[in-house]
């Protein structure tokens, strides 16, 4: 659970919603509804791709700040 909360923070959702938990929960429910819909499998592929790219960009950024 802590890791999942970290992802919410990493995506700047806490700051962007001014720590409004109802807004955050509503956003997550919207994502869940999208994944349950007829295009859910396609949405999951897109979400996964975007997340993977963000993780990779973060790793590249960490590597360039050392040395």
For helices 21-36 and 40-64, give the axis angle rounded to 10 degrees: 130
pLDDT at 64: 64
Considering the entire predicted model, what is its pTM?
0.78
Q: What is the pLDDT of residues 10-65, one digit of tens each?
A: 999 999 999 999 999 999 999 999 999 999 999 999 999 999 999 999 999 987 65
Q: In whole angstroms, give the CA distance from residue 43 to residue 41.
A: 5
């Amino acid at each position: 659970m802590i890791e999942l909360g970290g992802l919410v923070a990493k995506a700047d959702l806490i700051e962007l919603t001014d720590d409004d938990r109802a807004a955050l929960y509503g956003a997550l429910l919207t994502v869940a509804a999208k994944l349950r819909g007829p295009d859910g499998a396609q949405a999951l592929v897109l979400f996964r791709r975007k997340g993977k790219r963000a993780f990779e960009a973060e790793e590249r950024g960490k590597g360039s700040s050392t040395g």
